[in-house]
Structures are given as C-alpha cells and as structure tokens.
A = this chain, B = another copy of it.
Amino acid sequence: MRKPAEGRRRVMIEDVRPHVDCGRHPVKRALHDVVRVTASVFADGHDMVSARLLYRAEGDRAWKDVRMLHDGNDVWSASFQAESIGRYRYCVEGWVDDFASWRHDYVIRMAAGQDLGLALRSGGLLVKAAVSRARKADAARLRQYALQLRDQVELDISAMEEVGRLMDRYPDLRFATRSERELEIVVDRERAVFSSWYEMFPRSCAPVEGMHGTFRDCEALLPQIAAMGFDVLYLPPIHPIGASFRKGRNNFIEAASGDVGSPWAIGSSDGGHKSIHPQLGTLKDFQRLLAKAEDAGLEVALDIALQCSPDHPYVSEHAEWFRKRPDGSIQYAENPPKKYQDIYPLDFTTAAWRGLWDEVLSVFVYWIKQGVRIFRVDNPHTKAFPFWEWVIEEIKSKHPDVLFLAEAFTRPHVMYSLAKSGFSQSYTYFTWRNTKEELTEYLKELTQTEVNEFFRPNFWPNTPDILPGILQEGGSPAFVLRLILAATLSANYGIYGPVYELAVNVPQKPGGEEYLNSEKYELKHWHRDAPSSLAPLVTRLNQIRRGNKALQRNMGLHFHGINNDALICYSKASPDGSNVVLVVVNLSTVNTESGWTELDMEDLGLAAGERFRVIDMLDGNEYAWAGQWNYVQLTPEVRPAHIFLIERVTEGSSSVDEGSHVTDHAHAEGISQERS
C-alpha cells in the first residue's frame, strides 16, 4: 500500500447522513426545508476535534460552511436551509483543533495550580500561526494576544473568550479531512411534498350527455374543483388516439363505430406526443386552460405515456425505435399469453437509444414550453432506469420547478429505484393497505426509514385502473374512510373524480379491479351535484390540510396505541412542533367501534398525565382529554373519524385559541348535513 499524500490528516469522518445508497443518488427536500446533517467525526488520541458542514447550491463555486456541534458519542450535527430549488451538494470537514485542545488543557492546568509558563508560550505559538490566516482587524488582535502569551501574561476570562472566538474564525485546516464523497440533495418546490390531486377526463366534461368534452368545457369546471381545495388537476393523455386495433367499451377487443378509444393508445394521422386530440380543442385552447387553471389556483398535470398506437407517426418515421419480430413486423405489447395489439412499446434496448432518448426529452420540453410543470408518467417501470435518471436530471437542470409523478405499481425495489432515479412523487401500495397492521407497517417503512429520504408517496384511494375491493364492498363508508386516511396519512394525495366523490363502485367483473363501463374507453356524463356527493367532505379535508402544517409533511407521523384493531390512531406534528394533529379512524365500514387511546404523550408534546383539549376539525366538537388513556367511539355514516387539533390547556384560560387553525364550525357540520 502506498503512503497517503498527507499522513497528518488524522480525523476520521464516517456515516454522513442523510444519504441514499452511499451517495449514489440524491436526497430529496423541499424549498425552505432545514437540512440537518450528521456525521461521526473523531481522531486518535485525546486532542479536541472540530468539524464543519460545507454546502453549496449546484451553480455556486464557493462552499458555504457552518460549524457542527458535538451531540455526544463522536456524532456531530449542523443544519442549513435550502434557499433555492435545484441541486445542492454537501460534505463534512473535520480537523484536529490544537487551540481548542490547548485551551481545554490550560483550564485544567490552571485549576491544578501548575506552572503555566510553557503552556502560555505554547498557546502563543498557536495564536501567532493564526495571524496570517486572519483578516485585518482580527489579525491585529490575534498578534496582540500572541505577544501577551509569548510573554507569559495570563489571560482573564473575557480575553480567553475573545481569543477563542477569533481562533474559531480562522481554523488551521492544513490537515483537515473531508468526507469521502460529496452528497447531493434535490430541492423541489413545496408542491413536491404537499399537493392535492384531482384526476379528470376532459372528454367527459361536456355539459350535454353524449357530447365529446373539450378544454373549454374543462374551464367551466375549474371553479368547482378549486373550491374543493385541490391544487393539481391531472388530465389523462390529451394526444390523438389511434384507430388501428382500437379497443371498444369495457376494453372490448374490437371497437364499435363511434367508440372513442383509450387516451393511452397514443398517435394517429393527427399526430403524436406533441399533438392534441382534435376533439379536445387546439393548442391555444390548451394554453387557455392552463392560464385559467392558474387563475383558479390549480396546476395542470399532464400524463406522459411513452407508447404508441400503430398509427403513431413514430412508427413510420422511426421504425428503429420499435422491436421487430422475426417476420419483420413490429412487436406489439405482450404479457404472454395476453396481447395488446393496439400498443407498440418504444424499445429502450434499441441500438438507436440515443435518438429515442433525445426525442422523449423533446416531448417533455415541448409541454414545458406550453407552461406545464407537472408530469404524471405512465408505467415508468417499463422504461430503463438510466433513461429516467438522465432525462429527469436534464430537464430539472434547466427547469428545476418541474415535477414528475411515477405511476408504477410494481415490486418495492423497482418502485423505490424510480424514485431514486429522480421521480418527485410516486404512487404507492396504499390503495391495497386496509388493516391497522398493514397501514402501520407500510407507513413506518415510508416515513421512518431511509425511504423517506428519496421516495415521496402520493396516496390514491382509486385510479381509473384500480377500483379496490374495499370500495366495491364497503360502499360510501369505505369511500369516506379511505379518503380520510389518504388525506391525513400522506402530504400528497389524489382522487380520480368525480367517480370518487360519487362513490362509483361497480366492477366490470366480480373480483376484478376494473370499473364497469370504464371512462378509459367511453365518454361519461357525470352528475357532479348529486346530493350524495362526498364533495363537502373532500372540501373540508383539503381545508384542514391547508390549515395545518402538520399534515403538509410525512416526517412527523407517529402511531399511537388504541385497544381495538378496528380503530387506528396516529398523529402528525409540524417540523417545529407547533402544530399537532391527532387522527382516529374507524376502519370498519359497518360497525360502531370504540376503544381507549394509549397516547405517546411525549410525542404529542405533552407531559405525562397532562390535561389537554382536542378539537375535531371535521365537526367542530371539542373534548377535554387527560393523559394517554381517552375514550373514543366512532360510527360509519355518522362520525367515521376524528381529526383533532391538539391544544394545551393554558393556565387561567378556559377558551380555545382558534387563531391559527381551521375550526370553521359552519363548514364542519357539512359532512353529516350532506350525508345523513
């Protein structure tokens, strides 16, 4: 083994956190988040060590630095705030701090009444060496102290404090060690971590039944969707739909005349991924929709499905992007024995991959130029990971505000790897996690392991592809409880509407998850104002989410005990701990369930046995609670859940301070008014 270039770098730095796969992938944070970095920093012997955190935004040349503090057991920490979106880099630097060691020993020598002469002179040499590192005025002060110490003048406490401060300002970094690998963070805008999605088929928005809806028709619905409190309006693909092998209603193998086909069978003589389905409107109409949505506080998310109908212009213009069968025909999608002859997958193993990658990049860039900033990517797990890593970084380097939602429902490693490759948000298994045990285990994995550093869950209780069993069997109470769970467990959530508000739940086949008469294959006309609509509950939940910072992140999630497996109890706290929300949900769609909470008082910011007040933000009711054991009873259709704001009872005050949270009683009555 060769000797190192510098054998005097004695400080060891280990286990710098946060990191994803040893630094192979960036950690994710949101704008204004405080990034806390920890590391083990230590040296041989008894010398004192100092450490600092170095960080910089991608474009910056110079590192910023902040001193780390010793938290004990050789673990050090420091924090910085992410002040801009984009990439940051960080690393940790540690060094043997001779002056700190000297000062530490000096105090002991003094207390022991030892002769200080040589010790003072040693200190003087250290201070003198710092002079050349110091800026003007500081250098002068240091020179002064160096002379005093050389002359064995004992410094008083305040002088020692000052020289300590000055020496800290100009550490001797000649033999400092840096952590082995620079780590990265992707800082996204707030919507990456806190968003409420509404999925809607534009073609079903026509005011008249049987008409093909248009972007103009969508505009008319914007106020209603915004009033429910959503901030992302997600549209299935808006591109021309292929005619060859077009699927009929209920995914029938042959389309009847007049069948509109699936929006995911992209491409026709009208164009491909950069074109708009003529029946929806023009590019201008789309731009107008974007603008109107923005006025209403909604962002439009586009669906990017990287596959082609046999009629897609790519098929003739870029045959090299498709796989050929031995007979020279193009390979349609297959999952043997199933055949999907209406779909030609793009072949990411083509020798012409460079051209294909560039073209897909240009598709994203085209829509970004129109003003789109959020993409929901269809089946990203059937395209190569290196492609995603490249295309997302490429886009975000120029448009750091662009967000990507990965629509992958597949094996854990694959889902997590997509997130590591750059996706801002991800669909999850929430859709199939129903019991207390399932929910608790899954949420702990998502929020309390390293998964939380790179994978941002977006909870969907339904999608156009998935009508889960619990909604089929549980009816309206199931829709209510799944909605409450999604909206309070995950800071990002969404529903496919108005199917969800209207509790549509008839499957195509018993035991299957496809909707009967699915909107994927036909025009629908929805009665959005049906009296049974869950829109008031949706509205209330989104208000509660907006009014409570605790619900806008996942990190503060904590599960509490409750002695009934049909009840689940959890709390969320805002990063600064000032806002704490406690949720209890009845997981039964049929039975009244009751139980006693076993609250983790410390996690709620409460003392053991403390009296406190809980205000149910769903109905405005207040309760006086005390300690960890409190009685709860919940009844489907009447009161399926509590979403409590927790308030400490301040001395001499019996009224609840309602200044900072949402307890709009008028609204709160909404649910039972509407649903009973």
Give me the interface of A with B, judged by CB distance under 8 Å: 1, 3-4, 7-10, 12, 14-15, 21-24, 40, 42-46, 73-74, 96, 105, 108-109, 111-112, 114, 118, 121-122, 124-125, 175, 180, 325-327, 334-337, 348-349, 353-354, 357, 381-387, 389-390, 393-394, 397, 411-414, 417
Contact = CB atoms under 8 A, between A and B. Distances in A.
Contact of A337 (B8, B108, B121, B413): B108
B73 A411 contact: yes
A392 to B, nearest CB: 9
Contacts of A180: 24
State the number of copies, please.
2
A122 B9 CA distance: 59
A72 to B, nearest CB: 10
Nearest to A112: B337
A109 B338 CA distance: 9
Contacts of A108: 336-337
A360 to B, nearest CB: 12
Given A1-B393, A326-B122, A382-B44, A7 B387 contact: yes
Given A44-B385, A337-B112, A348-B10, A3 B411 contact: no
A12 to B, nearest CB: 5
A44 B353 contact: no
A547 to B, nearest CB: 40
Contact of A353 (B8, B124, B381, B394): B8
Contacts of A397: 1
Contacts of A124: 326
Given A1-B397, A14-B417, A111-B337, 14 more contacts: A3-B390, A7-B353, A7-B357, A9-B386, A10-B348, A10-B385, A12-B413, A14-B21, A44-B414, A46-B382, A105-B334, A118-B327, A121-B327, A124-B326
Given A1-B390, A348-B10, A337 B109 contact: yes
Contact of A74 (B175, B394, B411): B411
A389 B12 CA distance: 12
Given A14-B413, A74-B414, A3 B349 contact: no
A413 B74 contact: yes
A336 B336 CA distance: 77
A114 B42 CA distance: 67
A121 B326 contact: yes
Given A7-B384, A384-B10, A337 B21 contact: no
B118 A326 contact: yes
22 contacts: A3-B354, A7-B354, A8-B348, A8-B384, A10-B385, A12-B417, A14-B413, A22-B22, A42-B414, A43-B385, A44-B384, A46-B335, A73-B411, A73-B413, A74-B412, A74-B414, A105-B334, A109-B336, A109-B337, A121-B327, A122-B326, A124-B326
Nearest to A25: B14
Contacts of A3: 354, 357, 390
> 8 tightest A-B contacts by CB?
A112-B337, A22-B22, A121-B326, A1-B393, A74-B413, A7-B353, A105-B336, A108-B336
B1 A349 contact: no
B112 A44 contact: no
Contacts of A384: 7-8, 10, 44
Contacts of A23: 22
Contact of A326 (B7, B125, B357, B382): B125
A75 to B, nearest CB: 8
Given A73-B411, A74-B414, A394-B1, A325 B118 contact: yes
Contacts of A390: 1, 3-4, 7
